Chain A
Amino acid sequence: MTSVGATVKEPGNSVKNKTGSWRTFKPILDKEKCIDCGNCILFCPEGCINKDYDIDYDYCKGCGICAEECPVEAIKMERE
């Protein structure tokens, strides 16, 4: 069944779709090196890095922006 007008009434329910499966390269953060600049959090297209710099691999598509934008190279991209 399709809802009337195909309206979706569960806000943000796309979390059901785990886009982590798209990933080829996985970002690994070395928290020792991290200087808490927030770049990776801001620039993540998925918004899947939290304030404690935990990367949610359920959604990370492995684009590598976080590693690219890390000013201290604390994130390495590793082949899965």
Chain B
Amino acid sequence: MDIPEKEFLAPGHRACAGCGATIGVRLALKMLGENTVAVSATGCLEVITTPYPETSWKIPWIHVAFENAGAVASGVEKALKAQGKDDVTVVAFAGDGGTADIGLQSLSGAMERGHNLIYICYDNEAYMNTGVQRSGATPYGASTTTSPHGKESFGENKPKKNIPMIMAAHGVPYVATASISYPEDFMKKVQKAKEIEGPAYIHLHQPCTTGWGYDPSKTIELGRLAVETGSWLLYEIEEGEFKITYRPLERKPVNVYLEAQKRFKHLADEEKEKIQNYVDQVCAELKI
């Protein structure tokens, strides 16, 4: 795969060392190129990249609030169209909180209306910007500051909300999941999303050193383990057609993924087994 050399996210940003979100944005922007306008929801990405009077963005960028990236991107897309700038790509970046929870209505509206835009959810599975609180995308068993484990709790007791499938149910032309640890797979999907007319949604799994509790050097390794254990799946739905884009040769036990992170360290065997069973079930359905 020919990967463009040019960078559109400048260094000097305030992301934690080993940040997965910035890797994802860098890779996405490489494929989207300079003729792109980016929209950010409030969140880690927004605060680390634009501490006034600095910006890390080399392309035009706008942030309005937490819950409205879909609507802001809609307005931007229409304004560009009105000015005859149809060739400009509009991409929105929002975290899992800004997508699965507070921003879901705005996103749903944007997808349903058929705007020509790409929405990338960078999913680190909790509200990281405010200090690791659970979101709808927090997986079963994870300990966060608002779903802590304790004498009477094993942490988050709900499974992860399935946003890509909710997006697919909108009937948009392109929905994909991706991981920063599989950059070619992700970048191909970004390329497709760019070429497709109409709304495209990419759900990008992205380990977070601070929130998940692992050494910063392991960001890519953790993302890989999520996929290799079947805890995160890589697929795309193009014009309604579902396709797995990566199958691990041999699925690793989820334990190797769970035990590498502090947020799952407290789990008893019973809970880990439940997680394994859940993963087995999902993978069996999809023949992974």
Contact = CB atoms under 8 A, between A and B. Distances in A.
Given A12-B56, A14-B54, A45-B18, A65 B216 contact: yes
A15 B12 contact: yes
Given A14-B49, A19-B12, A8 B55 contact: yes
B217 A64 contact: yes
Contact of B11 (A6, A15, A65): A15
A16 B52 contact: no
Contact of A12 (B26, B51, B58): B58
B223 to A, nearest CB: 10
Nearest to A12: B10
- Which applies to chain B's interface (DSSP): helix, strand, loop or mixed? loop
Contacts of A15: 10-12
Size band of the B side of the interface? 35 or more
Contacts of A42: 3, 23, 27, 183
B11 A51 contact: no
Given A11-B58, A13-B54, A47-B26, A63 B217 contact: yes
B241 interface: no
Interface in B200-226: 209, 215-221
Contact of B220 (A19, A56, A68): A68
B5 interface: yes
Interface string B1-35: 00101010111111101111011001100000000
Nearest to A51: B5
Per DSSP, are chain A's interface residues mostly helix, strand or loop, or mixed? Answer: loop
**Most chain-B CB neighbours within 10 Å: which of A3, A47, A59, A67?**
A47
Contacts of B183: 42-43
Interface string A29-57: 00000000010001111111001000010
Given A45-B19, A51-B5, A68 B218 contact: yes
Contacts of B17: 22-23, 45, 61-63
Given A8-B52, A14-B10, A46 B220 contact: no
B58 A17 contact: no
Given A6-B52, A11-B57, A47-B10, 12 more contacts: A14-B51, A19-B13, A22-B17, A42-B3, A43-B220, A45-B20, A47-B26, A63-B17, A63-B216, A64-B18, A65-B219, A68-B220
Interface of A: 2-3, 6, 8, 10-19, 22-23, 38, 42-48, 51, 56, 58-59, 61-65, 67-69, 77
A-B complex: 6 closest residue pairs judged by Cβ atoms: A64-B217, A12-B10, A14-B12, A63-B18, A59-B11, A61-B17
